Amino acid sequence: MPSLTVAIERFPIAGAFTIARGSKTEAVVVTARIAEGSVAGRGECVPYARYGESVEGVAAAIEALAPDIANGLDRAGLQARLPPGAARNALDCAFWDFEAKRDGRPAFARAGLPEPRPVTTAYTISLGPPETMAEAARAAHRPLLKLKLGAAGDPERLAAIRSAAPDAELIVDANEGWSAADLAANFAACAEAGVTLIEQPLPAGADDALADLARPVPICADESVHGLDSLAHLAGRYDAINIKLDKTGGLTEAIALARAAEAAGLSIMVGCMVATSLAMAPALLLTPLARIVDLDGPLLLARDREPALRYEGSTVFPPEPTLWG
């Protein structure tokens, strides 16, 4: 019978990771491991306080299902046992990995997805003073930069960064930090800087202000989209959605969400929390469906787990089976 083990692990961030809601210096992840005989599958998640999650609570929610897994609970049954969120993500991805290794068939093939190829990921520039962000953008030498904004002075930040990195494609993540009052000025600054996409400009729940609003730059939902049931409210308010496995509760619902978003005419961005290669690996299966890929979590860490994904600059390669899938 399958067994389940759960671990809490900490990985230092290189410097600090700063967004509109605060700053942190380490990534705290919860991993689930499902094993039977010589076969084992793993999944990793990042509990997120913004969504009412804690490390201890997520670990406990996963551990509570150990008897059910021993008695035959599978990935299909898991979907009804836990809601979308970090706990289900770790278990869902562990099941995918377990099934792939048990059956000798890659996870992408089991999911009916195209084989993932090397892709360009965004590289995140943390929120800071304009000159600090501009220097970080200049030093990064990356083709695609994700700018953390959401504070007073964002137009100045954008101008400074564009001057420092004139050839980079820019996407902006306001992390719910803008308001209806400053939306027009910030939109105009993004358009002037040639920004490709703006993530979550307003707080989740304030989406109605985006309805029928002239948008000089496409707008992407992040905190406003989780699982399938959150998609309907986005019509007329957003042009794209950011799919993160920690929000959907794993790869299973993420695939369904991506298909539904495509049918609704929404572009897809595949994103991540700050986490290790084990968390990025299953998300890479969605990249053939995505317009923008933001899977730079390991690039922001002082150390990754081993084995790790292969990154060459901003190019990330599909995982080897020893890591996942």
Return the CATH number at 52: 3.30.390.10
Q: Is residue 321 part of a domain?
A: no
Q: Is residue 214 part of a domain?
A: yes
Alpha carbon distances (Å) from 211 to 18, 21, 222? 29, 25, 16
Say yes or no: 250 and 126 in one domain.
yes
Q: Which domain holds residue 86?
A: 3-104
Q: What is the pLDDT along the chain (325 residues), one digit of tens a residue?
A: 899 999 999 999 998 898 888 889 999 999 999 999 999 999 999 999 999 999 999 999 999 999 999 999 999 999 999 999 999 999 999 999 999 999 999 999 999 999 999 999 999 999 999 999 999 999 999 999 999 999 999 999 999 999 999 999 999 999 999 999 999 999 999 999 999 999 999 999 999 999 978 889 999 999 999 999 999 999 899 999 999 999 999 999 999 999 999 999 999 999 999 999 999 999 999 999 999 999 999 999 999 999 999 999 999 999 999 999 9
- Whether 244 is catalytic: yes
Residue among 101, 146, 244, 247 flagged as catalytic: 244
**15 phi-psi bin (left φ>0, alpha ψ -120 to 50, beta other):** left
Say yes or no: 182 and 261 in one domain.
yes
> Strand, helix or coil at 93?
helix
Instruction: Count up the domains in the chain and report the number.
Output: 2
Residue among 101, 146, 148, 247 flagged as catalytic: 148
Tokens 């084989």 correspond to 115
CATH number, domain with residue 180:
3.20.20.120
Say yes or no: 93 and 127 in one domain.
no
Last residue of a domain, one of 81, 104, 127: 104
- Whether 146 is catalytic: no
Q: Is residue 113 part of a domain?
A: no
- pTM over 0.85? The answer is yes
